[in-house]
C-alpha cells in the first residue's frame, strides 16, 4: 500500500516538475511514447489470451524444446566460462599486442552471427578446410558440424570472447602498485590470481555469467543454421516453426511469453544492480608487466588466437569466389538498401529513446526522485527480451492492426528494442558525469533543459555517441532473427539474402556476398575512430 | 481549382493505361532466377495484358501457414506450390474457391474441384555413382547398408519430408516405425527444407539425399555431370503432385481463372521440366525428350490424398523412432 502511494506521489511530483521546466516534456516524449507502446502491447496480448481461452496449448509437445534450450545453454555457458578465463589469462601473459587482442574480442561481440557460423562451416564441414587437410594426410574425416557439437561450438565462440573480454579487461587494469607488490614479493601470476586478485577478478562476474547464459538461450540464428535433427529444437526455433509452418500464433505467443518470463526472472539480479555493466564501460590500463612468460603460454595464446580468427578465413574463400553477376542482381541491391534503411531507422529510434531516457534519468537523479530506478529497469529489460518472442508479439499486434505495419517497420522496431539498452548503458557513465555540479551551474545561470541538452550534453558525449551509434548500427545490420519471420519478395535484408543463397546451394555466391558485407562492417566500425580521433573505446 | 485540374490531368493517363494485376504467392525457388517463374511470367503477360506479380515464401509448407495466419490480408489471388498432402488442410481452411476448369486430358488422373495440378514427381534418394558402386535396390536394402549416410527432411515442415513418411507407410504399413528405427542411425541430418538438405548433400555431408527422381536430370542437362543418379527401388516410389488454387478473396477473379487455365497449356508446362525439374501434367514427351531420357519415370506407387489424421499417423511413426 505504502509503495503504491509512493508511486502515485512520485508520479505526480514528476509531472509537476516536467510542467515547470520548459522543454523537459519534449525531451521526455520519446520515453513516454515508449511506455505507452509497452502498455498497449501488454493490453493487446492480454486481450488475445482472454479471447482465446478455449484454445489448448499442449505443453508436452514442447517440453523437449524447453529442456534442450536450457541444457545447451548450460553446457555452452560452462564451456564459455572455462575457456573465456583461459583465453584471457594466456592473452594477458602473452606478448601479443593488447590493442590487437582488445579489438579482436570487441569485434567478436558485434560481428554478425551469420558470418561466424559460415566461417565455422567453412572450417569444419565435410568440404571444409579441416577435411581437406585430413585428406592430405590420409585421415578419414567423418565429422558432422550440423549437430549438437556445431551448435555448442558457435554458441560458445561468441561467449568465450565475451567472457575473455571481461577477464582480459580486468587483468589489464590491475592497479600498478599491486603488480609492483607481486614483483617485490616474488609472487607468481597464478599465485596472485588464486589469492590476492581473486576477489578483484570475480567482482561483477555473476552478472557476466547470467548474461552468458541468457545469450546462450537466445541463439536462434545458430540453431536455425546448425540444428540437423528435430531433437535439436529450442524454444525460439519452436516459435519460428509455429509461426512459419503451423500457422499457430497461440503456441508461438505462449512459448514466447514463457521464455520471456524465465529470462526476466533470471535477469533480476542484473536489473537491480545497475552499476555493474563492466564490460562496456571504459577502463584504465596498466602498462607495467612483472610476470614471466614461457613456451607453454606462447603456444596456448597462439591456439586461442587461431580459434578466434579461424572463422575469418572465410573472407579469403569468399573474395576468391568473386562473381561479377552478383552486382547485376536487383535482389542484392534491394537487400543492401533494406539492411541499411532498417539499421538507420533502428539506430534513430534507439538514439531518440535512449537519449530521452538518459535525460529523464538524470532529471530524476538531480531531484532525488526514486522513480529513476524503475526507468533504468524499464530500459535495461529490453536487452533481455528474446527477439523471436518479441517477433511473435509484434506479429499479433500487426494482425490486430489489420497489417498496417510493413515488414520493414516491424523489423526496425524489434531491432531498436535490443539496441536501445546497449546505447543507454554505454552512454550512462559519461552522460551522468558531474551531473550535480552541472545541475547547480545550469540553475545558477538559468540554462533551460533544452539548451543544456543540445548545446552541452550532446557536445560532451559526441564521441561516445558516434562510437556506440556505429556499434549498434553494425549489430542491427547483421541481425537475422526477426527477418526470418518478417520477410517477403520486396523485403529481405543482406543476412537473409545470404542465407537464401546458401539454402539454394549457391555457397560460393553466399560466401562472396558475406565477405563483401563483413568488409563493409569493418569499414563502418573503423569510421568513427577516424572521424572523431577518439580516445573512447567499446 | 487549377491545381486540382492539373492533378487529375496527370492522374488520368496513369489510370487509363494501368494494367490489371495478378498476385501469385509461391515458394522462393519457383520464382528464383533459375526457376520457371520468370519465363512463365513473360508467357502469361504476353496473352493477358496484365502484370503478374510474384510473392514468395521460404517453402511450400510456409505458403499455407502464411495465408491462414493473415487470412490472406496481403490480397493474393492465387497460391501456386501447395502439394497433394496439404490439399485437405487447405480446403478445410475455407480460404480457397472452386476453379471450374476442365482437367480432363492430363497425364495424371485429377478430379479435385478446388485445386489444379501443375507438375508432379516421384520421391527418391539421389547418390553420386562415382562414390557408390552398389546402390540399394529396395528400401530394405537401403536400411541394411549401414555404411550409407542419408540426409532427409523434417516431415513436419517439408513436403519431401512428409513424402518420405508417406512412402515408408505405403511400403511398410504398420511396420513403419520399425523401418524408421532401422534407418535412424544412417540419417546424419534432418533438414528443415529440401534445398537445405540437397545443398548439404552436394557439399559432401552424406552419401544419399531424399529428393526427386528428376534431380539427376538437372546435373546431367545443366552441369553436364552424369554421376548423380536416382535409386531405382523395386518397392516403387511415392509421388507428389504440386497444385495451384484460387483464394476466396481474390481481387481479380477472372484473371486468376485465366491463369489457372493457362497453367494447363503448353505455354506454361514447357517451362516445368527444365525449370522446376518435375514432370509436366500434359504430354510433352516428344518436345522434352532430353528431360525424359535423363529422368525416366520410375515404378510408381498408387497416389493417395491423406487426411489430417493419416498425415499425423505418418509423422507419429517417424517421431516414435527418434524419441529416445
Q: Is the pLDDT of residue A15 over 80?
A: no
- Candidates A248, A296, A227; CA nearest to A64 is A227
- Per DSSP, A146 falls in state S
The per-residue pLDDT for A276 is: 45
Calpha distance A480→A486 (Å, rounded): 10
Calpha distance A497→A338 (Å, rounded): 11
What's the whole-number mean pLDDT along residues B63-71?
88
Separation in Å, CA of B9 to nearest CA in chain A: 30
The per-residue pLDDT for A531 is: 67
Contact A380, A274 (CB under 8 A): yes
Dihedral sign computed on CA atoms, order A118, A119, A124, A126 = positive
Would you call B104 exposed, middle or buried from its count of C-beta atoms within 10 A (0-12, 13-18, 19+)? exposed
Label residue A418 by pLDDT band (50, 70, 90): confident
B252-309: per-residue pLDDT in tens? 899 999 999 999 999 999 999 999 999 999 999 999 999 999 999 999 999 888 888 8
- Candidates B260, B238, B288; CA nearest to B117 is B260
Q: Is the pLDDT of residue A254 over 50?
A: yes
Q: Which stretch of DSSP H or E encloses residue A215?
A: helix A205-217
Asked if B157 has any chain A CB less than 8 Å from its own CB, the reply is yes
What is the residue whose three cell numbers read 552471427?
A: A113
Q: Which three cell numbers stand for residue B55?
A: 510473392
Residues on A contacting B at a C-beta cutoff of 8 Å: 125-127, 131, 144, 146, 228-231, 241, 243-247, 249, 329, 395, 399, 402-403, 488-489, 500, 502-505, 507
The top-scoring range by mean pLDDT among A436-445, B285-294, B314-323 is B285-294
Contacts of B55 in chain A (CB under 8 A): 488-489
- For chain A, percent of residues with pLDDT exceeding 90: 33
Contacts of A144 in chain B (CB under 8 A): 188-189, 205
B164-167 long-range contacts (CB < 8 A, ≥24 apart) are: B164/B123, B164/B210, B164/B238, B165/B314, B165/B315, B165/B317, B165/B318, B166/B85, B166/B238, B166/B304, B166/B306, B166/B314, B167/B123, B167/B139, B167/B237, B167/B238, B167/B301
Helix (H, G, I), strand (E, B) or coil at B33: coil
Calpha distance B3→B9 (Å, rounded): 10
Please state whether A21 falls in left (phi above 0), alpha (psi between -120 and 50) or beta. beta
The reply to whether residue A229 touches residue B31, judged by beta carbons under 8 angstroms, is: no
Contacts of A399 in chain B (CB under 8 A): 69-70
Calpha distance A396→B37 (Å, rounded): 32
Helix (H, G, I), strand (E, B) or coil at B128: strand
The per-residue pLDDT for A278 is: 44
What is the residue whose three cell numbers read 480460404?
A: B95
Nearest CA in chain A to B151: A228
- For chain A, percent of residues with pLDDT exceeding 70: 90
Calpha distance B143→B181 (Å, rounded): 9
A141-152: per-residue pLDDT in tens? 878 888 999 999
Q: Is the pLDDT of residue A311 over 50?
A: yes
List, in sequence order, the alpha helices (H) in A367-506.
372-380, 387-400, 407-431, 435-444, 449-451, 458-460, 462-477, 494-503
If one counts every other C-beta atom within 10 angstroms of the C-beta of residue B304, the result is 14
The reply to whether residue B62 touches residue A228, judged by beta carbons under 8 angstroms, is: no
Does the pTM surpass 0.80? The reply is yes
What's the whole-number mean pLDDT along residues A241-265?
87
Asked if B196 has any chain A CB less than 8 Å from its own CB, the reply is yes
The reply to whether residue A245 touches residue B55, judged by beta carbons under 8 angstroms, is: no
Label residue A447 by pLDDT band (50, 70, 90): confident
Interface contacts A/B by beta carbons within 8 Å: 84
Calpha distance A178→A188 (Å, rounded): 12
Optimal mutation site among A247, A404, A506, interface B, most CBs of chain B within 10 A: A247
The per-residue pLDDT for B181 is: 94
- Candidates A229, A251, A231; CA nearest to A240 is A251
Helix (H, G, I), strand (E, B) or coil at A394: helix
Q: Which three cell numbers stand for residue B198?
A: 540437397
A319-333: per-residue pLDDT in tens? 998 888 888 888 899
Optimal mutation site among B196, B202, B209, B322, interface A, most CBs of chain A within 10 A: B196
Optimal mutation site among A123, A505, A511, interface B, most CBs of chain B within 10 A: A505
Amino acid at each position: 500500500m505504502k509503495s503504491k502511494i509512493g508511486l502515485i506521489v512520485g508520479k505526480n511530483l514528476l509531472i509537476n516538475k516536467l510542467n515547470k521546466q520548459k522543454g523537459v516534456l519534449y525531451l521526455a516524449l520519446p520515453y513516454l511514447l515508449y511506455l505507452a507502446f509497452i502498455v498497449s502491447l501488454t493490453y493487446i496480448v492480454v486481450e488475445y489470451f482472454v479471447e482465446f481461452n478455449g484454445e489448448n496449448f499442449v505443453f508436452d509437445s514442447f517440453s523437449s524444446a524447453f529442456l534442450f534450450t536450457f541444457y545447451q545453454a548450460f553446457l555452452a555457458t560452462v564451456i564459455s566460462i572455462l575457456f573465456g578465463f583461459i583465453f584471457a589469462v594466456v592473452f594477458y601473459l602473452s606478448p601479443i599486442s593488447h590493442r590487437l587482442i582488445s579489438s579482436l574480442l570487441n569485434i567478436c561481440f558485434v560481428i554478425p552471427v551469420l558470418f561466424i557460423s559460415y566461417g565455422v562451416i567453412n572450417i569444419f564441414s565435410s568440404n571444409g578446410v579441416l577435411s581437406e587437410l585430413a585428406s592430405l594426410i590420409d585421415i578419414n574425416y567423418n565429422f558432422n558440424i550440423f549437430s549438437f557439437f556445431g551448435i555448442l561450438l558457435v554458441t560458445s565462440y561468441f561467449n568465450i570472447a565475451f567472457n575473455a573480454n571481461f577477464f582480459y579487461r580486468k587483468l589489464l587494469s590491475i592497479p600498478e602498485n599491486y603488480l609492483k607488490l607481486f614483483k617485490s614479493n616474488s609472487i607468481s601470476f597464478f599465485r596472485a590470481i588464486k589469492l590476492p586478485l581473486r576477489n578483484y577478478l570475480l567482482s561483477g562476474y555473476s552478472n557476466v555469467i547470467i548474461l552468458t547464459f541468457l545469450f546462450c538461450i537466445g541463439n536462434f540464428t545458430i540453431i536455425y543454421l546448425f540444428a540437423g535433427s528435430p531433437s535439436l529444437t529450442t524454444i525460439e526455433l519452436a516459435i519460428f516453426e509455429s509461426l512459419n509452418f503451423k500457422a499457430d500464433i497461440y503456441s508461438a505467443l505462449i512459448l514466447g511469453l514463457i521464455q520471456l518470463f524465465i529470462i526476466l526472472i533470471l535477469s533480476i539480479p542484473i536489473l537491480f544492480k545497475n552499476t555493474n555493466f563492466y564490460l562496456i564501460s571504459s577502463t584504465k590500463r596498466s602498462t607495467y608487466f612483472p610476470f614471466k612468460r614461457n613456451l607453454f603460454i606462447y603456444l596456448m595464446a597462439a591456439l586461442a588466437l587461431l580459434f578466434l580468427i579461424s572463422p575469418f578465413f572465410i573472407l579469403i574463400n569468399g573474395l576468391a569466389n568473386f562473381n561479377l553477376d552478383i552486382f547485376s542482381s536487383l535482389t542484392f541491391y534491394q537487400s543492401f538498401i533494406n539492411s541499411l534503411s532498417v539499421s538507420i531507422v533502428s539506430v534513430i529510434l534507439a538514439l531518440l529513446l535512449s537519449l530521452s531516457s538518459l535525460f529523464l534519468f538524470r532529471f530524476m537523479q538531480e531531484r532525488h526522485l526514486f522513480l529513476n530506478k524503475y526507468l533504468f529497469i524499464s530500459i535495461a529489460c529490453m536487452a533481455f527480451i528474446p527477439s523471436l518472442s518479441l517477433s511473435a508479439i509484434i506479429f499479433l499486434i500487426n494482425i490486430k492492426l489489420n497489417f498496417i505495419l510493413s515488414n520493414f517497420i516491424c523489423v526496425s522496431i524489434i531491432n531498436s528494442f535490443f539496441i536501445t539498452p546497449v546505447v543507454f548503458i554505454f552512454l550512462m557513465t559519461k552522460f551522468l558525469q558531474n551531473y550535480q555540479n552541472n545541475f547547480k551551474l545550469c540553475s545558477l545561470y538559468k540554462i533551460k533543459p533544452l539548451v543544456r541538452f543540445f548545446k552541452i550534453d550532446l557536445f560532451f558525449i559526441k564521441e561516445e555517441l558516434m562510437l556506440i551509434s556505429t556499434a549498434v548500427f553494425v549489430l542491427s545490420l547483421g541481425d537475422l532473427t526477426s527477418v526470418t519471420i518478417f520477410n517477403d519478395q520486396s523485403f529481405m535484408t543482406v543476412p537473409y539474402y545470404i542465407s537464401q543463397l546458401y539454402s539454394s546451394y549457391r555457397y560460393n555466391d553466399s560466401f562472396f556476398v558475406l565477405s563483401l558485407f563483413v568488409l563493409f562492417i569493418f569499414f563502418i566500425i573503423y569510421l568513427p575512430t577516424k572521424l572523431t580521433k577518439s580516445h573512447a573505446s567499446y | 481549382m487549377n491545381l486540382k485540374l492539373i492533378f487529375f490531368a496527370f492522374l488520368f493517363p496513369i489510370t487509363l493505361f494501368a494494367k490489371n494485376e495478378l498476385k501469385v504467392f509461391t515458394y522462393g525457388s519457383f520464382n528464383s532466377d533459375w526457376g520457371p517463374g520468370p519465363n512463365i511470367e513473360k508467357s502469361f503477360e504476353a496473352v493477358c495484358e496484365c502484370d503478374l506479380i510474384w510473392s514468395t515464401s521460404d517453402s511450400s509448407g510456409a505458403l499455407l501457414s502464411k495465408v491462414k495466419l493473415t487470412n490472406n490480408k496481403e490480397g493474393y489471388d492465387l497460391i501456386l506450390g501447395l502439394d497433394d498432402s496439404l490439399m485437405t488442410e487447405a480446403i478445410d481452411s475455407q480460404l480457397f474457391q472452386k476453379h471450374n476448369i476442365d482437367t480432363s486430358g492430363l497425364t495424371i488422373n485429377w478430379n479435385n474441384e478446388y485445386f489444379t495440378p501443375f507438375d508432379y514427381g516421384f520421391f527418391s534418394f539421389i547418390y553420386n555413382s562415382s562414390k557408390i558402386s552398389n546402390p540399394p535396390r529396395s528400401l530394405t536394402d537401403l536400411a541394411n547398408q549401414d555404411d550409407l549416410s542419408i540426409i532427409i527432411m523434417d516431415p513436419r515442415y517439408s513436403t519431401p519430408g512428409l513424402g518420405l513418411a508417406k512412402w515408408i507407410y505405403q511400403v511398410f504399413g504398420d511396420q513403419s516405425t520399425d523401418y524408421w528405427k532401422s534407418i535412424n542411425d544412417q540419417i546424419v541430418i534432418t533438414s528443415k527444407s529440401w534445398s537445405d538438405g540437397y545443398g548439404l548433400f552436394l557439399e559432401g555431408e552424406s552419401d544419399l539425399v531424399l529428393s526427386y527422381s528428376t534431380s539427376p536430370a538437372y546435373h546431367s542437362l545443366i552441369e553436364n555431370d552424369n554421376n548423380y543418379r536416382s535409386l531405382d527401388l523395386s518397392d516403387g516410389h511415392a509421388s507428389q503432385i504440386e497444385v495451384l488454387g484460387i483464394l476466396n478473396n481474390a481481387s481479380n477473379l477472372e484473371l486468376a481463372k485465366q491463369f489457372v487455365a493457362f497453367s494447363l497449356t503448353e505455354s506454361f508446362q514447357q517451362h516445368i521440366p527444365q525449370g522446376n525439374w518435375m514432370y509436366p501434367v500434359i504430354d510433352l514427351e516428344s518436345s522434352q525428350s532430353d528431360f525424359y531420357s535423363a529422368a525416366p519415370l520410375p515404378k510408381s506407387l498408387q497416389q493417395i490424398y491423406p487426411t489430417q489424421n493419416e498425415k499425423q499417423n505418418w509423422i507419429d511413426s517417424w517421431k516414435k523412432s527418434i524419441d529416445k
